[in-house]
Amino acid sequence: MEEYCCVLLTVACFISLPSVQSENYYAKNALTADGGWLSTRNSSPADEGPCTVEVRDQSLTYSQFIERYAYSRPVIIRGLTDNTKFQFQCSKSSLLQEFGDRMVRLSTANTYSYRKVDVPFQEFVEHLLRPQSLETLGSDTLYFFGDNNFTEWRSLFQNYFPPPYTLPGTSGAYSFGIAGPGTGVPFHWHGPGYSEVIYGRKRWFLYPPEKVPNFHPNKTTLSWVVDTYPALNQEDRPIECTIHPGEVLFFPDRWWHATLNLDTSVFISTFLG
């Protein structure tokens, strides 16, 4: 199992964490609340569902984070960083202008094996970024997340401020992604990290390491939510929540998790390795 899970998400780059600063210019000149990513066909068949993950704000101290969450359970944190400038740069028009002709690497959205496809970023956005079909298998679903060339995407990453709470002996590595409504990654596990939504909504399902979820590795999270999730007994339900722009989810080491994008979503993870 471990040999498969360790390759699920290719870590994009190792970085030093910048200091937080306010960018009033970008706040005043933001395009639209959705960054131009939403469309009339932008709704997943699944809803937000309940939230059973504890939510904290900037009053959470580092010592509290280490003691209560870092090694034991997930937590959602709000208000720790100001990523207004990064959000502005992640609007659809800004990314197409900056990276439209760059090649990006897409992976299949299944748990154990990955086919890679290289396409121009503009082709991905204009032709491949679409709602998930319920019948499509994970091996036939192309997903943009994790295979970012750090040199080419440096101008974007250098303006992202990750959560300041790291784990002792680790450093942060970014993975950036964009995905259509209904897409997501089925259950898998790896090391600890954070995930922040920049645009859209992303629903998370999590189980502790000792509780292996019931899932088919080549079926999508959407099919799991429609076919398996409703029949689960209460004690077999995952810990779950939907995160929105500006919210950050922390997940501990080796926790099982699956994701479902409820809208066209722009998101970034910081893996602590």
Q: Could you state, in order of their start, the residue ranges of all structural domains in the chain?
A: 2-14+44-272
Contact status, residue 78 vs residue 58, Cβ threshold 8 Å: yes
Q: Which class is domain 2-14+44-272?
A: mainly beta
What does the alpha-carbon distance between residue 120 and residue 122 come to, in Å, rounded to a whole number?
5
Per-residue model confidence as pLDDT tens for the chain (273 residues): 433 333 333 333 333 334 434 444 444 444 457 899 986 456 677 789 999 999 999 999 999 999 999 999 999 999 989 999 999 999 999 999 999 999 999 998 898 877 889 999 999 999 999 888 888 888 888 889 987 777 788 999 999 999 999 999 999 999 999 999 999 999 999 999 999 999 999 999 999 999 999 999 999 999 999 999 999 999 999 999 999 998 999 999 999 999 999 999 999 999 998
DSSP 126: I
What does the alpha-carbon distance between residue 218 and residue 196 come to, in Å, rounded to a whole number?
25
pLDDT number for residue 17 = 39
Please calculate the CA angle 91-96-99 and round it to the nearest 5 degrees: 115
Torsion angle of C-alpha atoms 138, 140, 143, 146, degrees rounded to 10: 80
pLDDT number for residue 32 = 58
Contact status, residue 44 vs residue 262, Cβ threshold 8 Å: yes
Cβ burial 52-69 (10 Å sphere, 16+ → b, else e): ebeebeeebeeeebeeeb
pLDDT number for residue 134 = 86
What is the gyration radius of the CA atoms in the chain, in angstroms? 17
pLDDT number for residue 72 = 97
pLDDT number for residue 11 = 34
